[in-house]
A and B are shown apart, each in its own frame.
Chain A
Amino acid sequence: MLGKRFNRMAFGSVVGVMLMAATACGGGGTGGGTTASEAPSAASSEAPKGALKVGLAFDVGGRGDKSFNDAAYAGLEKAHTELGAEIKELSPSSDGSNRGDLLRQLADADYNPIVAVGFAYAEDVKKVAEEYPDLQFAVVDSASNAPNVTGLLFAEEQGSYLAGVAAANKTTANHLGFVGGVESDLIRKFEAGFVAGAKSVKPDIKVDIKYLTPDGDFSGFRAPDKGKVAAEKMFQDGADIVYHAAGDSGLGVFQAAAAAKKKAIGVDSDQRQTIKETDLQPVIMTSMLKRVDVGVFEYIKAFQGGAKGGTDVTYDLKVDGVGLSTTGGEIDDIKDKIDAAKQDIVDGKITVPAKP
């Protein structure tokens, strides 16, 4: 049926004419300069010399995830209000095929420094940093790989260790759960820390582990339905607290916890505050904070102070780059136990494994 109906190609020539006009116009921007292409340069010439222009490229999902990307944006916004920086943030297409191009466009528009949010940017940041050696770049969750790239890393396993300690102290069933979004090495750090923390309190504790998608398939961060099914199974099997490191999919974990009248632990930002659904707030016992906002803001501040890239900055418990949220006061009664564990990590008495 389709073969019969799509047999004429004259249509193609129309598209062709349109496209030719399109490229001609694009090329015209070089010589004559269309109004659209003129606008940004005019704006930048008005800005005072040496003004701070910070560009930020989100990972797939972009703003509005109430978690990782939004935390990065909070840091950017703080740079805008406190440091007077001009800011611009871009999101990639859903297949992430244009991550590198976004960085180039920010670089071409004279943004410096440029922050790439998410380890998926590692390769692209490296390439673009080499193409623009005079600019400074930062990449969140990945190590520095060029002289003008700063790696902004977080000790997720340390924060997750505290989450494990809190959960093990609170559980009555001696049974916990962990839902990971994507089985990448990054999320496995969360699992490793959580399990180690729980076992440090109760060596015989049972922890169910479930990853929503395998490495390379990032849909696990955007699948609340899968998160719900995974958490439901854990609650039915007897777990009473489930920790998630699954981005948007965490919503499903909270829904399952609410339905089972059990508890859940949030991730990245203080989810008891950021989550829109008020009925789900009480199930979030605590959240493992990953202060991406602090990382981004501190990086911009350091850049303003003249810092150059080529090194990694790790935000760990010592500098409160990770930690637990206390909104709701549900973990106040075990605060001394958590603080003791934190102190042991900071003092180096406990080394938290980064791999399960």
Chain B
Amino acid sequence: MPAGLNRALLTVIGAVIAIVLAIAISSVAITAAGASPLAALGAFFDFGSSPRTVANGIATFLNRAVPLFIAGLAVAVGFRMNLFNIGVEGQYRLAAIVAAYVGSTFTAPAPIQIAVIIVVAAAVGGLYALIPAIMKVTRGVNEVIATIMLNYVAINLASYLVRGPFSGQRAEGALNTTTPELPESAMFPNLNFIFDWFGQPEPTRGGGVWGFLIAAVVLGVLVWAVLERTRFGFEIKASGLNGPAAAASGVNPKKMIIAAMVLSGAIAGLISLPELLGDKGAYTSTFTAGLGFLGIAVALLGRNKPVGIAFAALLFAFLDRAQGALQFADVPASVITIIQGMIVLLVVVANEVTNRFALRLEERRAAQQLGRNAPVEVAA
């Protein structure tokens, strides 16, 4: 369809302009900080000089992208029906510690062990998201406020649990608190063999490339299928686009709110699993925090579509990887955050501009066609 193609092309151009602008604006900030923008750009592409550092760099990059992708998906499921689940942060932290603890209490063959941990994580995340959903449908409590407040509850609960009931044996002289170590069968196999295919050395970094990458891809396909190819997905989108119209055509809004929130929370519960099952093997007081909030930016950038979110997560991870490289190049690493923020902001703006422009083009084209076929008579 030429009209669709036109529109796609416009969107691409808009996004390219947005990214170029973001880099330009960030360059100003870098210069102001007394560093060279070119050195910064070089650092982003500097994966090191030896095959080992390149392999480790790629592993770091991919390992960062996986949890960001899952976080983006979790947020996007809510966004698709205008539910702002800001509580992804709390949902995944609570799910992480409960899953880590439950997984450490028994030993089973690897597939069962891992499956149980995944189910527990999804269940805890989903149940925790059920609280704001119920508050919304029964009392009309705004889910933004409820989920933000529940984040605090979850974070404090998690840090209580890791010190108290769920605490494990800590290493001699260590101050980090941790849950009991997971059995060997809970560790997800890594993907380091891919490096062998290309004749490259395997990454040596803890856990290598996390095998959960595969699970994340499967999850992405599943979410896409549910949203785009099922009645449930259609009802979610319909409720998001026009709630009253969807309700009038027989969609139960209360049921949809609960279903979407719980699904969002269940996906959020999986965010910590790549790190937990791929590397750490326990929930510790230094577990990566803040992924739930980053997921909001990733979902925005990816336009709430699994494919878009995947690219957004890869872009964020690519920028995050350069943390060390930038500092080696004497560029302040906060540049990363500036570029990320700029890209999200400008892409949203570019999106809006191209949308309006495309709409106008479409109107003009339709008007022309109408004009050719049958002149429209304007009634006085």
The one of B80, B288, B290, B321 in contact with A3, judged by C-beta atoms closer than 8 angstroms, is B80
Q: Which of B52, B171, B307, B308 contacts A108 (CB 8 A)?
A: B52
- Chain A residues with CB under 8 Å of B60's CB are 98, 101
B104 within 8 A of A: no
Q: Are A123 and B280 within 8 A (Cβ)?
A: yes
Q: Which residue of B lies closest to A21 (CB)?
A: B45
Given contacts A3-B81, A8-B303, A95-B289, contact A29 B48 (CB under 8 A): yes
Given contacts A3-B79, A11-B351, A12-B308, contact A184 B11 (CB under 8 A): no
Within 8 A of B (CB), among A300-322: 312
Give which listed residue, B43, B61, B175, B310, contacts A12 with CB less than 8 A: B310
**B187 at interface (Cβ–Cβ under 8 A)?**
no
Write out, one digit per residue, whether chain A residues 33-44 have a CB within 8 A of any chain B CB (1) or not (0). 111111011000
CB distance from B159 to the nearest CB of A (A): 4
Partner of B82, one of A2, A89, A142, A144: A2
Interface centre among B49, B61, B171, B320 (most CB of A within 10 A): B49
Kindly report which residue of chain B lies nearest to residue A8, judged by CB atoms.
B11
Contact residue among A26, A36, A123 (Cβ-Cβ distance under 8 Å from B284)? A123
B26-57 CB contact bits vs A (8 Å, 1 = yes)? 00000000000000001111111111111011
Q: Which residues of A contact B102 (CB under 8 A)?
A: none
Report the minimal beta-carbon distance from A48 to chain B, rounded to whole angstroms.
Answer: 20
Supposing A19-B311, A105-B324, A215-B162 touch, asked if A119 and B50 sit within 8 A by C-beta, the answer is: no
Which residues 320-337 of B sit at the A interface, judged by CB distance below 8 A?
Answer: 320-321, 323-325, 327-329, 333, 336-337
| B88 CB, min distance to chain A CBs, angstroms | 14
Interface centre among B8, B284, B286 (most CB of A within 10 A): B286
**Which residues of A lie under 8 Å from residue B336 when comparing CB positions?**
93
Q: How far is the CB of A131 from chain B (nearest CB, A)?
A: 5
Task: Give, as a whole number of angstroms, the nearest-CB distance from A309 to chain B.
Answer: 14
Determine how close the nearest CB of chain B comes to the CB of A301; give it in whole angstroms.
Answer: 23
- A99 proximal to B (CB < 8 A): yes
Given A18-B19, A19-B311, A40-B49, A98 and B286 contact (CB-CB distance below 8 Å): no
Q: Shortest beta-carbon distance, A129 to chain B, in Å? A: 12
A80 → chain B closest CB, angstroms: 16
| Shortest Cβ distance from B7 into A: residue | A8
CB proximity of B297 to chain A, nearest CB, Å? 13
Chain A residue, CB-CB nearest to B59: A101
B12 to chain A: which residues have CB within 8 Å? 10-11, 13-14
Considering the complex, which residues of chain B in the window 7-22 have a beta carbon less than 8 Å from any beta carbon of chain A?
A: 7-9, 11-12, 14-16, 19
Would A22 and B347 count as touching, CB distance under 8 A? no
Contact B54–A26 (Cβ < 8 Å): yes
- Please report the C-alpha to C-alpha distance between residue A300 and residue B374 in the assembled complex, in whole angstroms: 87
Asked if B241 is an interface residue, CB under 8 A from chain A, the answer is yes
Instruction: Kindly report which residue of chain B lies nearest to residue A23, judged by CB atoms.
Output: B58
**Judging by beta carbons under 8 Å apart, are B15 and A15 in contact?**
yes
Cβ contacts under 8 Å, A184 to chain B = 175, 177, 285
Q: A104 to B54, alpha carbons, bound, how many Å?
A: 12
Which of A101, A120, A141 meets B324, CB within 8 Å? A101
| Known contacts A10-B11, A27-B54; A214/B303 CB under 8 A | no
Choice from B53, B172, B240, B320 contacting A143 with Cβ under 8 Å: B172
Q: Say whether B333 contacts A123, CB under 8 Å.
A: no
Q: Which residue of chain A is the closest to B304 with respect to CB atoms?
A: A6
B205: contacting residue among A15, A37, A88, A131, CB under 8 A: A131
Bound-state Cα–Cα, A243 to B333, Å: 33
Q: Is B137 an interface residue (CB 8 A)?
A: no
Query: Are A97 and B64 CB-contacts (below 8 A) given A9-B308, A29-B54?
Result: yes
Taking the complex as formed, is B339 at the interface, i.e. its CB lies under 8 A from any CB of chain A? Answer: no
Scan residues 111-152 of chain B and give those whose CB is less than 8 A from a CB of chain A. Answer: none
Give CA–CA (A83, B56) in the complex, Å.
Answer: 32
Interface residues of A in 111-164 (CB under 8 A from B): 119-120, 122-124, 127-128, 131, 141-145, 151, 153
Q: Which residues from B are CB-within-8-Å of A13?
A: 12, 311
8 Å CB contact of B57 from A12, A26, A33: A26
Cα A278 to Cα B290 with chains together (Å):
36
Interface status of A5 (Cβ within 8 A of chain B): yes
A12 in contact with B46 given A143-B173, A186-B175 (CB within 8 Å):
no
Quick check: B206 and A15 within 8 Å, CB to CB?
Answer: no
Does B355 sit within 8 A of A, measured CB to CB?
yes
A236 within 8 Å of B by Cβ? no
Contact present for A151 and B173 (CB under 8 Å): yes
> Which 8 pairs across A and B sit closest by C-beta, in order of nearness?
A143-B173, A6-B303, A216-B159, A36-B42, A3-B240, A216-B285, A26-B47, A12-B308
19 contacts across the A-B interface (CB closer than 8 A): A3-B81, A6-B79, A14-B16, A22-B318, A26-B54, A26-B58, A29-B54, A37-B47, A90-B328, A91-B327, A93-B320, A95-B288, A99-B286, A100-B205, A105-B48, A108-B56, A122-B171, A124-B206, A185-B175
Apart from the given pairs A6-B79, A7-B303, 6 other A-B contacts in the complex at a CB distance below 8 Å: A2-B304, A16-B314, A98-B320, A104-B204, A142-B174, A185-B175
Interface residues of A (CB under 8 A from B): 1-16, 18-19, 22-23, 25-27, 29-30, 33-38, 40-41, 88-102, 104-106, 108-109, 119-120, 122-124, 127-128, 131, 141-145, 151, 153, 184-186, 214-217, 312
